[in-house]
Amino acid sequence: MKEKTQVADIDRSLYDFRFEDADSYKVKEGLTEDIVNQISEEKGDPEWMREFRLRSLKIYNETPVPDWGPDLAGLDMDNIVTYVRPNTERMHTSWEDVPEDIKDTFDRLGIPQAERKSLAGVGAQYDSELVYHNVKDEVAEKGVIYTDIESALKGEYADMIRHHFMKAVPPTDHKFAALHGAVWSGGSFVYVPKGVKLDIPLQSYFRLNAKGAGQFEHTLIIVDEDAYLHFIEGCSAPKYNVANLHAGCVELYVGKNSTLRYSTIENWSKNMYNLNTKRALVEEGGKIEWVSGSFGSHISYLYPMSVLNGKGARTEFTGVTFAGEGQNLDTGTKVVHNAPETSSYINTRSISKSGGISTFRSSVVMNKDAHGSRSAVSCESLMVDNLSRSDTVPAMDIRCADVDVGHEAKIGRISDDTVFYLMSRGLSEADARALIVRGFADNVSKELPLEYAVEMNNLISLEMKGSIG
């Protein structure tokens, strides 16, 4: 098929186009019911899940791509099938095909050789099953369920999952939540029973190494009354994926008087569109603590949301976002205060460097029943050079008179005097700057378990390399 235009054809032999390829190429029609049915069948979904996927698909097809944030034009939405069903021929099947910068990062982060291949999405999976099973057995003694969500969907917790799955984040939320509902695959299910306080953190790191996971994975955590859980998601190594769309979903249910700490270090490869949705519903006296480090990706939309439904429910959000060259990271948090005496405390840092754009968005809603509630939002931005950009977009919607809402934003640069001071103590300029930035991000590193804090600091040092001149 050829299209005629008014403009005279130029001599295309100049470029090495191969017309026979063009002829054999057929444009896919986007995401169809057939494809979704096929996914559902492969996974052996219960019937309700198959219907749920199809309903989500319908919503997906009717919902426009968001246009209020960073540009998503680079996502090939007409050809969404390539993200959902990555063409095996295009997958990197050998270590040699993995881009040099990713390999280099593994090197510098000191990731063991055995893990590198699996993180890069090639070769054998890292044998983390043993570690995982040990953790699983240990927590099982306390009655904690920690398993992959697909098998849980068929086991004794099937009803519990059905009752909670995409109820906190409905597919109608936005286009990528709908996409997730239609094609989700992999992820974790955790249930902490009443009164159980788990002192070791559970880490999704092991499971995210599984083949095909980490793109549309679903995390569902239910913490019953008077319980405690710390869940850690991700790791500092850049996850490399040929399909450059990540639309995961995290749903957290925090029961009466319980606390859930949800820590994340995300470091996506620099071609990734990270459109992740995370939400926690918190009951009376409960607390959700988000600790979030956002690194990597080309574009991110990430705003973990806390819905405080019970009296005295609380949320704390501690985050850091690092946007380097070619990155546009739009991150922040949302809080909805639905009950009296609820509180939210938001403390974020954003760093932008080498032309990176970092936008902090916060949304605080005080509904009519939020009597005596408080919210404090603090956002500090650090621009490492003159090329970079940092924005703060705070939104407040207050429908209750007796509430206390505060917002504070600061923007700064690294002063020459500070760099000079550190250099006078023997640190190179690059090390001095990295040290300052690591110190700036210590709101998050202080909250992370030591090994994760060390990894995050290494990651910052790595991102800071070559930032001079």
Partner 1 sequence: MAELLNITGLKAGIEDKEILHGIDLSVGEGEVHVLMGPNGAGKSTLGSVIIGAPGYEITGGSIIYDGEDITGEATDKIAKKGVFLSFQNPIEIPGITLSNFIKTSMEEITGQRIKLWDFKKKLEAVMETLHMDKSYADRDLNVGFSGGEKKKAEILQLLMLRPKLAILDETDSGLDVDAVHIVSEGVREYKKQVGGALIIITHSTRILEALDVDKTHILADGRIVAEGDATLIDKVNSDGFEQFLG
- 416 contributes a contact to partner 1 by CB under 8 A: yes
Piece in contact with partner 1 (CB under 8 A), picked from 167-175, 324-332, 420-428, 461-469: 420-428
- Of 290, 329, 288, 294, the closest CA to residue 310 belongs to 288
| Number of residues in contact with partner 1 under rule CB under 8 A | 25
- Of 274, 252, 255, the closest CA to residue 204 belongs to 252
Q: Which is nearer to partner 1, 172 or 461 (CB)?
A: 461
Q: Which is nearer to partner 1, 13 or 424 (CB)?
A: 424
Piece in contact with partner 1 (CB under 8 A), picked from 15-23, 91-99, 172-180, 419-427: 419-427
- 427 contributes a contact to partner 1 by CB under 8 A: yes
- 325 contributes a contact to partner 1 by CB under 8 A: no
Q: Which is nearer to partner 1, 134 or 428 (CB)?
A: 428
- 420 contributes a contact to partner 1 by CB under 8 A: yes
Q: Which is nearer to partner 1, 159 or 417 (CB)?
A: 417
Q: Which is nearer to partner 1, 200 or 423 (CB)?
A: 423
- 452 contributes a contact to partner 1 by CB under 8 A: no
Piece in contact with partner 1 (CB under 8 A), picked from 103-111, 137-145, 278-286, 427-435: 427-435
Residue 409: strand pairing partners? 379
- 442 contributes a contact to partner 1 by CB under 8 A: yes
Alpha-carbon span 419 to 432, nearest angstrom:
6
Q: Which of 164, 278, 361, 438 binds partner 1 (CB under 8 A)?
A: 438
Query: Are the beta carbons of 353 and 464 closer than 8 angstroms?
Result: yes
Q: Which is nearer to partner 1, 256 or 438 (CB)?
A: 438
Q: Which is nearer to partner 1, 147 or 418 (CB)?
A: 418
- Of 93, 87, 97, 103, the closest CA to residue 123 belongs to 93
* Whole-number Cα distances in Å, 313 to 279, 318, 387, 467: 15, 17, 41, 42
Q: Which of 282, 370, 441, 456 binds partner 1 (CB under 8 A)?
A: 441
Q: Which is nearer to partner 1, 153 or 434 (CB)?
A: 434
- 423 contributes a contact to partner 1 by CB under 8 A: yes
* Tokens coding 190: 């955790």
Query: Are the beta carbons of 188 and 220 closer than 8 angstroms?
Result: yes
Q: Which of 7, 425, 450, 469 binds partner 1 (CB under 8 A)?
A: 425
Q: For the CB of residue 468, give the shortest distance to partner 1 in the complex, in Å.
A: 12
Alpha-carbon span 268 to 273, nearest angstrom:
9
Q: For the CB of residue 349, give the shortest distance to partner 1 in the complex, in Å.
A: 10
- 436 contributes a contact to partner 1 by CB under 8 A: yes
Q: Which of 73, 424, 450, 469 binds partner 1 (CB under 8 A)?
A: 424
Q: For the CB of residue 297, give the shortest distance to partner 1 in the complex, in Å.
A: 24
Q: Which positions from 356 through 415 interact with partner 1, judged by CB under 8 A?
A: 415
Q: Which residue ranges make up the site for partner 1 (CB under 8 A)?
A: 415-429, 431-432, 435-436, 438-442, 445
